[in-house]
Amino acid sequence: MKDQLGYKVYLPQTPRRIVSLVPSQTELLFDLGLDAEIVGITKFCIYPAEKTKHKTKIGGTKNLLV
């Protein structure tokens, strides 16, 4: 598999935990039913509200530690 820059990426197994850094992608992940796999989201990931309120919040999309 290759990433968006064309670098080869090897994952020895399917990822089991997800930290979502992009609000629109967070919504998509929930829509795909990956609720249990999402372990962290940014403070800007607020939808779907009933599901994001129970997830660990990290900083923003550019500064993850805030």
What is the tens place of the pLDDT at every residue in 1-60? 899 899 999 999 988 999 999 999 999 999 999 999 999 999 999 999 999 999 999 988
Radius of gyration of the chain (CA): 13
Query: Residue 66: its pLDDT value, please?
Result: 64
Q: List the domain range (segments joined by +) for residue 52.
A: 18-58
Closest Cα to residue 38, out of 11, 14, 22, 19?
19
How many folded domains does the chain comprise? 1
Instruction: With respect to residue 64, please indicate whether it lies within any of the assigned structural domains.
Output: no
Q: What is the C-alpha separation between 23 and 10, in angstroms, rounded?
A: 26
pTM here is 0.78
CA atoms within 13 A on the CB side of 52: 24
Instruction: With respect to residue 27, please indicate whether it lies within any of the assigned structural domains.
Output: yes
Instruction: With respect to residue 4, please indicate whether it lies within any of the assigned structural domains.
Output: no
Instruction: With respect to residue 29, please indicate whether it lies within any of the assigned structural domains.
Output: yes
Instruction: With respect to residue 7, please indicate whether it lies within any of the assigned structural domains.
Output: no
